[in-house]
Structure 1
Amino acid sequence: MTTTPRDASLTPPLTQRINDTTKDVHEKSGNSINWKLSLILTSKECYCEAISLFWIVYREIERLYDKHVNDHKVLQLLQPVAIVFQRAPKAERDIRTLMPSPEQAQELLERRCSDGKYTPRALQDYVDRLERIAAENPVQLVAYLYAMNGAITGGGVAIQKMVQKTFGLKTLEGVELFELNLSGTSFASGREAWKEFKRILDEDAGPYLTDEDIDLILKEAPKVFDGNNALVATVQQTRAFGKAAADCTRRLGIVLAVVIAVVAAAVLYTTPSTTSK
């Protein structure tokens, strides 16, 4: 799908409109799931359960973006910087590094996706929605590219260090999810890359976005957070989460749990506005 260029850039900026549109659902997310997220970093298995959900999400967003990149001018404009934010292969490597054994890692990955079917149901619903909106009008993928890339990039250095310290990691193995693909690019840092990503959406994309396109993006943006909330809620049903809850209550205490909650919440639910890299 293509659109006819027009002469005006976006006013107010598209990224600001997305942030405003998602403000309420973002705050609701933080208020409702902090306790669950406070436990994610208390166990490698629990942490892997969580990131394996988003391994699929990133994989499908990246797959659909690659499939539809030539179907809308805005997706084409984002291509030079979008490659910097690819996460799916890194998430898979982190899982294989952190799980206690290769067999357990493989079991988790296969549990998430087997024969084209996704588990849990919330993950299947998420993937189904991604495929549906990409088929209807691929410009809606902008809502996911912006929210998901911004969420995990914001505060990435701090989160990476927290995971390393918590699990005693001496190298980047196990925390590649927070690394950006800057090699071969003109970007000196993740901050520069994210600034360019936003600039493209706010300036270069304007002439190629119809009012309908913008409306679709803004309507889809809150649903990104709704889908993420539903995914995180499923971690509570796992054996790893139950063990982490018991261990956290027994060893860490409520104060430390709240501190970890704040950090963990930033991993998946920081409103995409700035980066630390």
Structure 2
Amino acid sequence: MSEHAWLPRASCTDACLRAGAAPAGRRPMVATRVALRAGLALLLLPALPLLAVPLPGRSHLQRGYCRLMLRALGVRITISGGPIRNLRGVLVVAGHVSWVDIFTIGAVLPGSFVAKAEMVRWPALGVVARLMKVIPIERTSLRRLPAVVATVATRLRAGQTVVAFPEGTTWCGLGYGRFRPAMFQAAIDAERPVQPLRLAYHHRDGSASTVPAYIGEDTLWASLCRLVVARRTVVHVRVESLQLPGTDRRELAGRCETAVRAAGVAPVPAGHALAA
């Protein structure tokens, strides 16, 4: 029994990463690919804090920047589904696979993110997180959760877009966790709609990819290396139907979870190993 048995934990392991891997190719090609991608990403990084400056058309700049960063990392993005409505004060929710999700969603519906508090304390990235007004959440403290929900509701009432990952942790993309209902209370309190997004990562041949995954004891560096070494990763974003908040957060969470799951893919119960 863990110290915090209520914490969301994925059952993903290294077997998941192997199941969704793909050959990188010949060494000279890999070296060239890594050098180009690393160089482009390093050129883009210094401009990241500028996205926090309140300029006219900032959302367009954020979308453009995120698309450029994805391309620099070897990720191509496709979008389908419903229209992206120009509404103020929307809670955006999606399944959580990787730190790449932040750039993916930023390329479609940029907003402030609810992210684990450790991120705010990371060197360099922590400064950027504070500039981007990330809402930190202490996953090990239930007592602080109501304050986070209240902060999200306040921003929604102020007309800001907020992005949250209701699974509470990252999964490999081959399996999924349940949507926790707590964050949906913010949309109910603020009486603002919820926009579910379905994210799916693939190799260029269309098969499911776990290359961008950031799970378990994985490090940011290891995840980044897998991504820049891969030939190409395609992330497909499907914009699902906008959900009205209603009055029951569990019912709202259930509606949104159903919307973002591919047909025939069920959540994997915590504590059960995912088949390789």
Structure whose residues are more often helix by fraction: 1
State the TM-score, normalizing by the size of structure 2.
Answer: 0.28
Of structures 1 and 2, the one scoring higher in RCO (CA 8 A, sep 6+) is: 1
